[in-house]
Structure 1
Amino acid sequence: MAPKENDVKGKDEKEIVKINKWDSSAVKNSLDDAVKEVLTKKFNYTENFNLMDGRLVICTIAVGVAMFALLWDYLYPFPQSRPILIFSVATYFIMMGILTLYTTYKEKGIFAVCIQKEGARKGAVWEASSSMGKYNDEYELHLCVKQPKSGSVRETKSKKSCANFVTINGVICQDLVENEVTRLHNSLLSERKEK
């Protein structure tokens, strides 16, 4: 059963996120933002952008090579610039292949990497990733915690219909997202205490 508009009462207009509920990409991205907000605001974790920076470095190199080829071709028209253009085009496509491998195998849909700066688990790295099919209403959220000192990794996931978090009018219910993320977060912490 979808939450009602009244479930988001008492919030400022700035906090209410309204989306096109039929656009699965917009729903997934809005839910991802809501999960990231819970990790950074409620749990007060510091967001780490190294994963995103890796993608930016790869893209910067690819664009830099393309810009160099453009400049070289302007200074030395085509017959003279042929070897440089061949090298630049090949390098650009290699960099795009590396970018594809990076996003597929390194990022794996991770949209938030946060570091715990306080408490008993200081230095723990929390990763949140999600998936949602184009014509599917199931939002699958993966939460993972890594302890760099011990090398231990624990993860949990939740798979629920996006209707559990979005009202009929397309408003994200932040409190319902927060409850789900908190439940997953606490399950990872309780696993640690049991061991």
Structure 2
Amino acid sequence: MTESTEPVKINKWDGAAAKNAIDDAIREVLTGDLKCKESFALIDGRLFLCALAVGVALYALLWDYLYPFPQSRLVLIICVSSYFVLMGILTLYTTFKEKGIFVVAKEKVGNVTRVWEASSYVKKHDDKYNLVLVLREPSGKTREASINKTFANYIDSNGTIVQNLVASEVTKLYNSLSSEKKEK
């Protein structure tokens, strides 16, 4: 756990808040305890698409201001169409590229940089937290491990995240994926 951070307290009956708090605790374990460096490339891709869409919308707004509606009709049609296409691409990006990944961390081992991806999901009306930890080797090999436990395993009766339990689970997954390479 990083220096003097206060325990995170949430409404333990709010599934989304519990999931997000546990996600943050896992991010803290990967980037703090396990000494990996967080990579923001995945989030930067989403931000680029969003910025491009906002730029198109602002261009349409400015063009319509300078050349009122009858003159700006073609530009507005192109900009609105482009905006919806970009939103479609953004939806595909978040669905198929991000896949619920909330942290990407890089670990330098000798001359090799391994990439760790953590993603999670909670089914609707379920108290099970599903964590998937993926290790991507530079050689192209991918290994993954997952756990499926209730929120009660990570949150105490007061609604406080128990960082030691989260760290223990993540470290077990991390060690199991790291040791698989050594055995083979």
TM > 0.5: yes
- Provide the secondary structure at the position in 1 that maps to 2:112: coil
> What are the superposed Cα offsets for residues 61-119 of structure 1, whole Å, 9 maximum, x if unpaired?
000000010111111111111111111110000000000000000000001101102x3
Unaligned runs of 5+ in 1: 1-10
Deviation of 1:167 after TM superposition, in Å, equals 1.0
Contact 1:19 1:171 in 2 (8 A): yes
Q: State the match for 2:175 in structure 1.
A: 186
Q: Structure 1 segments of 4 or more deviating over 6 A?
A: none
Q: Is 1:147 paired with 2:146?
A: no
Cα RMSD (Å): 1.5
CA distance in 1, matches of 2:111, 2:158: 40
> What are the superposed Cα offsets for residues 32-82 of structure 1, whole Å, 9 maximum, x if unpaired?
000010000011100000000000000000000000101111111111111
Q: State the match for 1:94 in structure 2.
A: 85
Structure with more relative contact order (C-alpha pairs < 8 Å, separation 6 or more): 1
TM-score, structure 2 normalization: 0.95
Farther off after superposition, 54-63 or 16-25 = 16-25
Task: Report 1:76-115 matches (<5 A).
Answer: 76-115=67-106
Q: State the match for 1:8 in structure 2.
A: none
Change (3 A) 1:122 1:42: farther
Unaligned runs of 5+ in 2: none
TM-score, structure 1 normalization: 0.90
Deviation of 1:26 after TM superposition, in Å, equals 0.8
Aligned partner of 1:129: which letter? S
CA distance in 2, matches of 1:83, 1:44: 53
Aligned partner of 2:169: which letter? E
Deviation of 1:138 after TM superposition, in Å, equals 0.5
Deviation of 1:122 after TM superposition, in Å, equals 3.3
Number of aligned pairs? 183
Task: Report 1:161-176 matches (<5 A).
Answer: 161-176=150-165
Change (3 A) 1:31 1:161: same
Q: Which of 128, 134, 156 is equivalent to 1:138?
A: 128
